[in-house]
Chain A
Amino acid sequence: MSALKGPILFGDFTPEAGLARALAMERAEVISEVRSSGLKGRGGAGFLTGMKWNIAAAAKGEKKFVVCNADEGEPGTFKDRVLLTSYPDLVFEGMAIAGYAIGASHGIVYLRGEYGYLLPGLEETLNKRRRGRLLGEAVSGKKGFSFDIEIRLGSGAYVCGEETALIESLEGHRGEPRNRPPFPVNTGYLGCPTIVNNVETLALAARVMSEGAEWFKKFGTGKSAGSKLFSVSGDCERPGVYEFPMGITIAQLLKEVGGEGAKAVQVGGASGHCVPAVQFTRALAFEDIPTGGSVIVFGQGRDMLGAAKNFMEFFAEESCGQCTPCRYGTKVLLDGIEKLENGSCSMAYLKELLALGETMQLASKCGLGQSAPNAFISIAANFKDEVLGRERRSEGRGE
């Protein structure tokens, strides 16, 4: 893996400067600072972080919660693991700032079950922070602000990264997304106002508070301020986690990681879109191709239908099974891809499958089902010849 180098997170900074500056401010000032930084959530949806905090701060509730979403289940994503391994203090600092801003005294890290091996180290870091009065009663000597953090382990379901399913899981229920509205900011964990933020978002918030909104906005684009961590994998020379300013084009990124000459890039993991080489000039930013950070590089020799199948297998397995379009749609699409593979899918049926994909995007209860068809639809649109040009293999298989 490449050495960690980058402008905001993977750079030099003074630990706890953000927390110190935040605690010297009024709560509302902290929120407006985060707001004016233009920081958007890094977990995928890109919701304005300052706005989220503001709603939670305004929501009525005796108790409020800060949840750090460290479920990191998206295939091809591993940047949160790197943050939690190399910069756990920064993440916890961000949580404390969020707690101060919204008036919460309790933080929860929802840690992906497979990252259980990080637990002893993270607990040790928390203990160190408690000893250093960065957690507990009167954080950093700030009267009236107490805050502590607890780590809870997930159990391996991808859907539990979805914030309402995550909350269900925290409450001890089967991990299934809730009906929205209301959103967690109003009615979240145990019915209390809750902000759920991605690991990276919280770390960035700490940096915003230490250096100021104006400094943060110097990086990235107008609509996508700051930097982004990218988990790069696949057919490239230097896979790993990178920090780039928002708005970097795919071509630039490929150059950095040694992936020039790729056939396509899957941006955003299984739930993202497949971008063909002709579109490599496009930018990775909320206004163009939004991403949670996963970039999977496909070299020239890759079978795109096979890739689509791989992603669809993932969703057919990970659908929580709650709503009809996703529960059965993923399976029907998977079967359809197999039909395409062995050349037994008619054009009419392919059209029907693409329409079904649209229904899933529109009518599923949560983001999982809504994004499950993305990869298939974009591959079918961009690699039509490859998808349709299959030999009828059924005879060969003696069926």
Chain B
Amino acid sequence: MTSKNIESRAPASQRRQVVPAPAADDAIGASVSVTIDGAEAKVPFGTTILEAARMMNVKIPTLCNHDDLCIAGVCRVCVVEIEGQRTLQASCAYPVTQPIKVNTHTRKVRQARRHILDLMLAHHYGECYACWRNGNCELQSLANEYGVDGFRFGKMEKPRYAIDQSSYSVVRDMNKCILCRRCVRTCIDLQEVGVLEAVNRGQETKIACFMDKPLADVVCINCGQCINRCPTSALAASDPTDEIWAAIDDPKKHVVIQTAPSPRAAIGECFNCPPGTPLTFQMNTALRHCGFDKVFDTNFTADLTIIEEGSELLLRLHKALVEKDKAAALPQFTSCSPGWVKYLEHFYPEMIPHLSSAKSPQQMFGAVIKTYYAKLNNIDPADIVSVALMPCSAKKFECNRPEMCDSGFKDVDYGLTTREMAAMIKEAGVDLPNMPKSDFDEPFGTATGSGIIFGATGGVMESALRTVIELVCGIKVEKLFDHADIVPVRGFDGIRYVELPIKDVGPVSPILENHFKDWNWLKGATLKVAVAHGTANAKRVIENIKAGGKFSECHFIEFMACPGGCLGGGGQPIPTSPEIRAARAKAIYAEDAAYQVRKSYENPAVAHLYENFLTDGPCGHRSHKLLHTCYTARGKYIL
């Protein structure tokens, strides 16, 4: 996971400073004694008071602190009293470097906390009952916990700022902002994008984009990581539920929904289930209760993506290794994360040729539904409303890209986040965790385990490798990796690198016969692949490639905009933390293991699609028209 103190781009005022150990105490493991509320413990030199308190099970309230982010020390809610010190200290930022005695709830501390909350509430506009974070708001819970019983210093009568709804993905309502700056740190430090910054001074301070422009006019990549870390409702995803309800209520409309793998591993969190509770089949029933006419599994097109993207990779490899064509643009980059795609378009437009031209699973499904599915069922595509349940806010932007109309219609009408789906299910009065189970609808049926692991970082790579190994080497993946679990590409390390020697090759399978006669040219080659998640890590890999480092020799690299991959997406339930994401990943890998068919190319529905619809095969003329796309060089400066 992204570490708290590595080469941070946030200014040092927005960071915890590492305290250099005094020369004499350099010994590793030097520990210091700290007494909190009378109990003593030894902690490693430089541990913050907050960390020490957590180890000792003492609760200190926090607001600007977040487990994924560097430390700011700005909200001051976590102040404590240190014996012998004149002022209170922010426990999140105060390192223990000598024995100290700390008290966490003296009169001064209690008074300060109340005042700080009172001051925030006095400048926070809006009523809790008219807010989508009602019941899931950190300011609200603190106000409750610390006994706020009135508006001591008054309250806002009118909004101060216009709501910024310019973006397809993220809505900013600065009237709700309490200036904890988690979004600022998320954007610059976690994601290294940096569109959000504090401007002005004193009570005029606000979070703004470059030149106070609307979000749609800056280099925002729509990843929504800021939304996931906002303690209030100052940041939200652009919510299409009203339009979707209207479509459901319209008898002329045929409303279908595809559901991505990550939401099912997380939506339970909105219904008080512990993180990592899989609700795939209960959710299918719930969605039908809500009124969706068909419920499809995005994993179907995840498998399709693997076939298309994998074939594209083999074609590029052939071009590079056999035809010696420099324009092959290796390594090939994955293109299923729309946040990552926009990041590349803004920051490294010169690298666009490396992006796989394959559409994301969401968009492939959109194109297939309004063509193949519409024809098969004799439905006018104009009457189909296609909804995509995604863990992602960038998917809302993606479905609105002008090039995403290859079916002749808008391929996907609405991107819906996990949070919005949960709200719809609740509004329909459905008790999700206790719904009976039901399967996905035909003709796309149940997909393979390969599709499901798209939800975790490394999953696309693992799926691609499973298929490529079997198609090229002609052996079962299980021979190389127990249970076909390609463990080296799994995990949460920010950047992972794997080499896979191709010792033997098999015959070319029928679906690739259009492109290849044999695999002999790959015999003895070593396939080099890498995985990066979070755009900060992506940036390191790209810089390494540009500098001619080891990643420039890779053949295929999976990039995900969000830390943890889709399961940590900007549309997932709030809160998020490394532990929560790990629990969701566990659920996803468990679901994969439970599938009979775990390799994309073995998916019978996919094979059927190639036989009956995309008849010239992967990367053929038809698939190119429907399943592939092109990109826009955007650059950093938007005029």
A residues whose Cβ falls under 8 Å from a Cβ of B: 58-60, 157, 164-165, 167-168, 171, 173-174, 176-182, 186-187, 316-325, 327-332, 352, 355-356, 358-359, 361-365, 370
B76 with A319: CB separation less than 8 A: no
Chain A residues closer than 8 Å to B179, beta-carbon distance: 321, 324, 327
A-B contact count (CB 8 A): 149
Chain A residues closer than 8 Å to B11, beta-carbon distance: 168, 171, 173-174, 176
B618 to chain A, nearest CB (A): 50
Point out the residue from A187, A323, A358, A365 that lies within 8 Å of B20, measured CB to CB.
Answer: A187
B13 with A178: CB separation less than 8 A: yes
B66-101 near A? 1/0 per residue, CB < 8 Å? 000001111111010000000110100111010000
- Interface check B203, CB cutoff 8 A: yes
A178 with B17: CB separation less than 8 A: yes
CA A187 to CA B77, docked complex, whole Å: 26
Chain A residues closer than 8 Å to B490, beta-carbon distance: none
CA A327 to CA B93, docked complex, whole Å: 19
CA A318 to CA B115, docked complex, whole Å: 21
- Interface check B187, CB cutoff 8 A: no
- Interface check B112, CB cutoff 8 A: yes
- Interface check B368, CB cutoff 8 A: no
CA A328 to CA B117, docked complex, whole Å: 11
- Do A363 and B88 contact each other (CB < 8 Å), given the known contacts A187-B17, A317-B202, A325-B115? yes
Point out the residue from B12, B77, B87 that lies within 8 Å of A171, measured CB to CB.
Answer: B12
The closest CB in chain A to the CB of B119 belongs to A328
B202 with A319: CB separation less than 8 A: yes
B5-25 near A? 1/0 per residue, CB < 8 Å? 000000111111111100100
B95 with A181: CB separation less than 8 A: yes
Which 8 interchain pairs have the tightest Cβ spacing?
A321-B205, A173-B11, A179-B93, A328-B119, A176-B13, A363-B112, A359-B115, A319-B202
B536 to chain A, nearest CB (A): 19
Point out the residue from B23, B74, B200, B204 that lies within 8 Å of A323, measured CB to CB.
Answer: B74
- Do A325 and B119 contact each other (CB < 8 Å), given the known contacts A181-B97, A352-B152, A359-B111? yes
Q: How large is the interface on B (under 10, 10 to 19, 20 to 34, 35 or more residues)?
A: 35 or more
Chain A residues closer than 8 Å to B122, beta-carbon distance: 328, 332
Chain A residues closer than 8 Å to B105, beta-carbon distance: none
B115 with A355: CB separation less than 8 A: yes
B490-544 residues with Cβ-Cβ distance < 8 A to A are none
Chain B residues closer than 8 Å to A370, beta-carbon distance: 87
Beyond the given A168-B12, A182-B20, please list 16 additional residue pairs across the A-B interface where CB-CB is below 8 A: A59-B20, A182-B95, A317-B201, A318-B202, A319-B201, A320-B205, A321-B204, A327-B179, A328-B123, A329-B115, A331-B203, A356-B153, A359-B112, A362-B88, A363-B79, A363-B116
B141 to chain A, nearest CB (A): 17
The closest CB in chain A to the CB of B16 belongs to A179
- Interface check B453, CB cutoff 8 A: no
- Interface check B131, CB cutoff 8 A: no
B82 to chain A, nearest CB (A): 11
Chain A residues closer than 8 Å to B76, beta-carbon distance: 323-325, 363-365
- Do A365 and B74 contact each other (CB < 8 Å), given the known contacts A318-B201, A321-B205? yes
Of the A-B pairs whose beta carbons lie under 8 Å apart in the complex, a sample of 14, sorted by A's number, is A60-B23, A164-B13, A168-B12, A173-B11, A176-B13, A181-B17, A187-B17, A187-B18, A319-B201, A323-B74, A324-B116, A329-B115, A362-B112, A365-B90
